[in-house]
Amino acid sequence: MINEINSLRAEIAVKLPGIKTSNDLENFRLEYLVKKGKLTGLFDRLKDVSKEDKPVVGKELNLLRQFTETEFNSLKDKLEDSAESVPDIDLTLPGRRNFTGSKHPVLQTIQGMVDIFQSMGFTVAEGPDIEDGYHNFDALNFPPDHPARDMQDTFFIKSDSELLLRTHTSPVQIRVMKSQKPPIRCIMPGRVYRNESINARSLAEFHQIEGLYINKKVTFAELKGTLMTFAKKMYGDDSKFRFRPSFFPFTEPSAELDMSCFLCKGKGCRICKQSGWLEILGCGMVHPNVLSECGIDPDEYSGYAFGFGIERVTLLRTGMDDIRLLYENDIRVLEQF
Ligand code: DAH
């Protein structure tokens, strides 16, 4: 029995240095340490050893078991440690992309327009989104029965025109003229609201930039010159424009500026309602009634005003063919601009 123990010890001593993986270790355990293993098998045979030999054999067996288990455990720790130190990464996986944010196309348009007008000497003014009927309509020379005051166009907050969501940025003109003395040259960007159905061309909530120039002897020619200079800077020298007579209660005479349709290049499509042209702004010479209402003498001063729809300008700038795309916030659309 002692011989068998010794040869098993020798066998184990040879096996141990060959254990390199957890698989090898498991095989070692199965061979020697499980119930039916070689080492445990020797313990089973201890009962057949004579009484006087038992203490010696038992001691040797216990020593062998201690040795084997200690070696086994230290190898196990070593292998587990080295498994942990292998970095837990899969180099074949695709990398993670970093997404960079950008300014919304509408904000880009506002900032681009503000930059151009500022370079032409305009300052920037702002007014409240919640207006009253006086600034939104009366002071702008809207007659009391004008259809634009109808519930269909305006979101009223309180009845009797006391409070409403401004339907245009023109009320800011009134606030500026009442608080500043001419000469006045400013633009007024902001959000406006209309009780309108939403489609490819219009929204119920959108943005405008209002422009105002008041001084002595301001002429319509200056208005045209300013707007054409702006339009060429914004859209390039090749774009085509036309002025068309129009009507607004707060300007006289009034006009609208059209730009050739970016989509069909003037042939006619759903965006331009088959006309080949897209309206980009309303403008005109400030009505004498409006000047007087704001305390500016119409015999001494004259001026022009204009108002752009910013979403419309953004469509023209980006080539998008549906205004709703701007507010659906689909990242695949927005990240293109
Ligand atoms: N407020 C007008 C609108 O919302 C646009 C406009 C037209 C503004 C003529 C002006 C202007 O300042 O002179 O349709």
- Residue bearing the CA closest to ligand 1, atom 8: 307
**Atom nearest to 212 CA in ligand 1:** 12
Q: Is the CB of 303 under 6 A from ligand 1?
A: no
Q: Which residues in 10-32 are b (16+ Cβ under 10 Å) and which e?
A: eebeebeeebeeeeebeebeeeb
Whole-number pLDDT of residue 117: 97
Query: For residue range 293-313, what is the model confidence (pLDDT) as tens digits?
Result: 999 999 999 999 999 999 988
Q: Which residue has its alpha carbon closest to ligand 1 atom 4?
A: 168
pLDDT range class, residue 77, cuts 50, 70, 90: confident
Task: Evaluate: CB of 309 within 6 angstroms of ligand 1.
Answer: no
Looking at the chain, the whole-number percentage of residues with pLDDT higher than 90 is 46
Residues 287 and 251 sit within 8 Å (Cβ to Cβ):
yes
pLDDT tens string 313-323: 898 888 888 89
Q: Please work out whether the CB of residue 207 comes within 6 Å of at least one atom of ligand 1.
A: no
Q: What mean pLDDT value characterizes the chain?
A: 89
- Write out pLDDT tens, residues 222-234: 999 999 999 989 8
How far does residue 125's CA lie from ligand 1's centre (Å)? 16
pLDDT level of residue 128 (50, 70, 90 thresholds)? very high
Please tell me the distance from the alpha carbon of residue 59 to that of residue 65, in angstroms, as a whole number: 10
Instruction: List, for residues 166-177, the tens digit of each pLDDT value.
Output: 999 999 999 999
Report whether residue 170 contacts ligand 1, using a CB cutoff of 6 Å: yes
Judging by beta carbons within 10 Å of its beta carbon (0-12, 13-18, 19+), is residue 186 exposed, middle or buried? buried
Q: What is the pLDDT of residues 183-209, one digit of tens each?
A: 999 999 999 999 988 888 888 999 999
Cα gap 337→335, rounded to integer Å = 5
pLDDT higher than 90, residue 97: no
Nearest to 53 by CA among 1, 5, 10, 8: 1
List the structure tokens of 103. Answer: 């300014």
DSSP H or E run through 285: strand 277-286
Q: Report how far residue 95's alpha carbon sits from residue 93's, in angstroms, rounded to the nearest whole number.
A: 6
Confidence band, pLDDT 50/70/90 cuts, at residue 17:
confident
Nearest to 315 by CA among 207, 168, 201: 201
* Residue 86, pLDDT score: 65
Give the burial string for 216-230 (b: 16+ CB within 10 Å, else e).
Answer: eebeeebbbebbeeb
Q: Is the pLDDT score of 109 beyond 90?
A: yes
Q: What percent of the chain has pLDDT over 70?
A: 97
CA-nearest of 269, 265, 238, 261 to 312 is 261
Task: Identify which of 205, 283, 287, 294 to mutate to test ligand 1's pocket (most ligand atoms within 8 A of the CB).
Answer: 283
Q: For 156-164, which contacts have Cβ atoms below 8 Å and span 24 or more sequence positions?
A: 157/130, 160/133, 161/132, 161/133, 161/134, 161/136, 161/137, 162/132, 162/133, 163/130, 163/131, 163/132, 164/130, 164/131, 164/132, 164/133, 164/136
Distance from the alpha carbon of residue 123 to the mean position of ligand 1, in angstroms? 18
Residue with tokens 């927005």: 334
Among 165, 168, 196, 279, the mutation site with the greatest number of ligand 1 atoms within 8 A of its Cβ is 168
What CA dihedral angle connects 184, 214, 254 and 320, to 10 degrees? Answer: -20
Region 105-334: CATH code: 3.30.930.10
Residue 156 CA to residue 195 CA, distance in Å, equals 9
pLDDT of 48 reads 83
How much is the pLDDT for 216?
A: 97
Cut 0.75: pTM above it = no
Tell me, what amino acid is at 28? F
**Ligand 1 near 307 CB (within 6 A):** yes
pLDDT of 151: 64
Q: Is 248 in the pocket of ligand 1 (CB under 6 A)?
A: yes
pLDDT band at 84 (very low <50, low <70, confident <90, very high): low
| CA 235 / ligand 1 centre spacing (Å) | 21
In this prediction, residue 321 carries a pLDDT of 83
Q: Are 207 and 106 in contact (CB under 8 A)?
A: yes
pLDDT at residue 88 greater than cutoff 90: no
Q: Which residues pair with 333 in a beta bridge?
A: none
